Amino acid sequence: MFEARLAQGALLKKVVEAIKDLIEDANFDCNSSGFSLQAMDSSHVSLVALSLRADGFEHYRCDRNVSMGMKLASLSKILKCANGDDAITMKSEDNGDTITFMFESPEQERLSEFDLKLMDIDSEHLGIPDNEYDATVKLPAAEFQRIVKDLSTIGDTVEISVTKDAVKFGTTGDIGNANIMCRQNKAADKPDESTEIDINEAVSLTFALRYLNSFAKATPLSTHAVLKLSKELPILVEYHIPEVGRLAFYLAPKIED
């Protein structure tokens, strides 16, 4: 059987809220090392990779590898019934056709159980190489969210250019154009507000803002978003979930015809 208890149930709520508009349904893969998901959006432009480590759970048991297909909208409906401070336990029997979500309030005076029907999902699993990237930018998650939101009011795509000291986000649209530059800033007294740039080579790539806006729904999960870029490769936008794992998004670049 599979059973996993997450004391901070809110994390699971936030993860599902972050991906449910990008992905309709997906297989959640459980094995002894943890709980993970890999899925492409319906247009096959982006890829979501979630991994929650077994040791990030308060209790974790997975007797055999299982892949549980779920409709994200249904999962979201159920998780919305959990309070933000509830612990969430997921349970499923081997070869079962449902997964049970149990919500426990902090004082355990309220216990609720919701069963979600599992579904068979035929999904293509991609092999993601562990790339060295030309540039890595770690910036406050809320700042990244604001940048992609603001630029979306002007244009549909963003050119992200990283140099040694700064990252520049630029867009062009019918009404004009916009550029936002963030300088490296390693303020030791305010680590949550730091912007750090690690660069092997200057890089400049163009991406659809619609997807970056969607990725930014993961903002509540982490203080920072980490952007990793290499010439002509998909951008990796990572949100580290402290002590539990990470939620990563890959987005294929736009190329000039």
Partner 1 sequence: SSRQRDISSFFGGA
Q: Establish if 170 lies at the interface with partner 1 (CB under 8 A).
A: no
Sole window of 41-49, 57-65, 113-121, 177-185 interacting with partner 1 (rule: CB under 8 A)? 41-49
Whole-angstrom distance, CA of residue 65 vs CA of residue 220:
30
Region 124-153 residues binding partner 1, contact defined as CB under 8 A: 124-129
Question: Smallest distance from the beta carbon of 168 to partner 1, in angstroms?
Answer: 18
Nearer to partner 1, 140 or 234 (CB): 234
Nearer to partner 1, 77 or 210 (CB): 210
Reading the block at residue 208, the tokens are 């659809």
Q: Establish if 248 lies at the interface with partner 1 (CB under 8 A).
A: no
Angle between helices 72-79 and 9-19 (to 10 degrees): 140
Whole-angstrom distance, CA of residue 22 vs CA of residue 144:
18
Which helix (H) or strand (E) element contains residue 74? helix 72-79
Nearer to partner 1, 5 or 254 (CB): 254
Whole-angstrom distance, CA of residue 57 vs CA of residue 7:
7
Region 217-236 residues binding partner 1, contact defined as CB under 8 A: 233-234
Question: Smallest distance from the beta carbon of 44 to partner 1, in angstroms?
Answer: 5
Question: Smallest distance from the beta carbon of 254 to partner 1, in angstroms?
Answer: 4
Whole-angstrom distance, CA of residue 46 vs CA of residue 94:
31
Question: Smallest distance from the beta carbon of 58 to partner 1, in angstroms?
Answer: 32
Write the secondary structure of 86-122 as one string of H (helix), E (strand) and C (coil): CEEEEEECCCCCEEEEEEECCCCCCEEEEEEECECCC
CA-to-CA dists, residue 6 to 98, 130, 199, angstroms: 19, 28, 36
Q: Establish if 44 lies at the interface with partner 1 (CB under 8 A).
A: yes
Sole window of 25-33, 109-117, 175-183, 248-256 interacting with partner 1 (rule: CB under 8 A)? 248-256
Binding site for partner 1 (CB under 8 A): 40, 44-47, 124-129, 157, 206, 208, 233-234, 250-257
